Amino acid sequence: MERLTANNITVSYKGRKVIDDISVELNKGEIVSILGVSGVGKTTLFNAIAGLIKTDDGTIMLDGSNITGTTGNVSYMLQKDLLLPYKTIIDNVSLPLVIRGEKKTRARDIVSGHFHEFGLDGTQDKYPNQLSGGMRQRAALLRTYLFSDKVALLDEPFSALDSITKSSMHQWYLRVMEQIKLSTFLITHDIDEAILLSDRIYIMAGTPGKITEEITIVNPEPRNEDFAVSERFMEYKKYILEKLKG
């Protein structure tokens, strides 16, 4: 069942095409990676889907309605956690509800129910600078989820973390995703991360950026570290590396 489709998206910046005729789709509960080198236009594609920039051409459909060029439909999370330093974690997480017009106290009540699920117990009244990088990303993801439980766009959410934290965050992420079934587009330039986390991978390459390949990761249940060292994982990786070289 399709949740979000982006059809024939073209975006130019200062008269130069940045991404050209890109079509991607996301099914309900699916995690789909968009993999490519830096500067290929992955973030531009996200900005277009989020409605933050104008597209030259193409349409974006969410659950059958056209959302091209409008904001507030899909949630967005960046590599920087962008937790506001002057708000406590619970107020940071409540932000999407408050923006939607919910009362502050009511928003707090609603969001506090999710803290356990996201492994954030006890952080409610802390300020972001009192938390570790991993915990901050968790809070940022919870905020993302509370903004829209339909579709999340995650732009390199784990790339600023050290490799040990990153690995444990991957485990945490898969565990949480199993519960909340959030349909997710994930931008990454980490091939391992893409294979480990995704159901499907789009490879983006060229100038202007195009989708050059679509790979389905045949579901390795349950996903865990064992999968990351399995033969099949290595085959995927080899295949992707070849495709990335062009």
* 173 binding another protein? (CB under 8 A): no
* Binders of another protein in range 41-70 (CB under 8 A): 50-52
CA distance 205 to 216: 18
* Binders of another protein in range 70-99 (CB under 8 A): 71-72, 74-76, 78, 80, 82, 84-87, 95-96, 98-99
Size of the site for another protein (CB under 8 A): 25
Nearer to another protein, 96 or 208 (CB): 96
**Phi, psi (degrees; rounded to nearest 5) at 121:** -55, 135
Nearer to another protein, 61 or 244 (CB): 61
CA distance 87 to 26: 33
Neighbours of 39 (CB within 10 A): 11
Three state DSSP letters for 172-233: HHHHHHHHHCCEEEEEECCHHHHHHHCCEEEEEECCCEEEEEEEECCCCCCCCHHHHCCHHH
* 238 binding another protein? (CB under 8 A): no
CB of 245 to another protein, least distance (A): 32
* 110 binding another protein? (CB under 8 A): no
The footprint of another protein (CB under 8 A) covers 50-52, 71-72, 74-76, 78, 80, 82, 84-87, 95-96, 98-100, 126-127, 129-130, 147
